[in-house]
Amino acid sequence: MNAALTNPVPDTDAEVGNDLILVEAARDGDRRAFEALYRRHAGWLLPVLWRLAAGDRSRAEDWLQEAFVQAWQKLDQLRDDAAFPAWLKRMAINLALADQRRGQLTLAEQTSERAAPEPPWPAADLDLERAIVGLPERARQVLVLFHLAGLGHAEIGQAMGIDPGTSKAQLHRARTLLKERLA
């Protein structure tokens, strides 16, 4: 696990406690509780998905919506309520990667035709944002999952269906490309 750069997910006892209450209520069919979970967790998930989507905002929002709809439908399968943020993140990432695998060619064409994307938030480092979304797909996915989603190489390998060693190689490639473009 990449401990240095983890997600801003709730990690204090009080926040985890709130999650437990909300997850339990949502599991009982309480939509207000599920909306509260959405408001607590959609905010940190969206930037990860936007960067995975190479700056395609509508695609990132589609994945976000789909992830929450699936979370609602599969809440009964969640064994440890305290693990809701990690469970949701894994679900959203798997959705995004699967969708990209299906539409690889289409996405590549769209990306090449698009102008440099603007993130939906006031970017503190627009050059870096653009350099990231401009990376080759696999290198970008590994860099985003490692540095911005807080996954380790074993988890990345599992999510992407690649060897952890390949994940390390792709990360090295991504970082080299970024350093070249930002120099």
Partner 1 sequence: MKTDDSRLDQSLDRRLAALTRAHAPDPALWHGIEGRLPPHRRSRRLAIAAAVGGLALIVATLAAQLQREPLLDPGRMTVDAEAQALRALEPETIPAAWTEAAAGLESAWHDNQAAIAELEQALERSPGNRLLLDFLAQARRRQARLIGQAATEHSVFIPTERSIDT
* Shorter beta-carbon distance to partner 1: residue 51 or 160: 51
Which of 8, 95, 7 is CA-nearest to residue 59?
95
- What is the signed CA dihedral for 100, 127, 124, 43, rounded to 10 degrees? 0
Q: Are 145 and 156 in contact, with CB atoms under 8 Å apart? A: yes
Binding of residue 3 to partner 1 (CB under 8 A): no
Amino acid identity, position 23:
V
**Residue 139 CB neighbour total at 10 angstroms:** 20
The 120-149 site mask, x for binding partner 1 (CB under 8 A), equals xxxxxx--xx-----------------xx-
Residues numbered 71 to 90 that lie near partner 1 (CB under 8 A) are: 72-73, 76
Task: Please select the residue that binds partner 1; options are 8, 17, 103, 165, rule is CB under 8 A.
Answer: 8
∠ Cα 151 4 11 (to 5°):
80
Task: Please select the residue that binds partner 1; options are 1, 5, 21, 98, rule is CB under 8 A.
Answer: 5
∠ Cα 129 135 141 (to 5°):
90
Binding of residue 108 to partner 1 (CB under 8 A): no
Task: Please select the residue that binds partner 1; options are 47, 55, 117, 157, rule is CB under 8 A.
Answer: 47
- Rounded to whole angstroms, the Cα distance separating 163 from 69 reads 30
Enumerate binding residues for partner 1 (CB under 8 A): 4-5, 7-8, 27-29, 31, 34-35, 38-39, 42-44, 46-47, 61, 64-65, 68-69, 72-73, 76, 119-125, 128-129, 147-148, 175, 178-179, 182-183
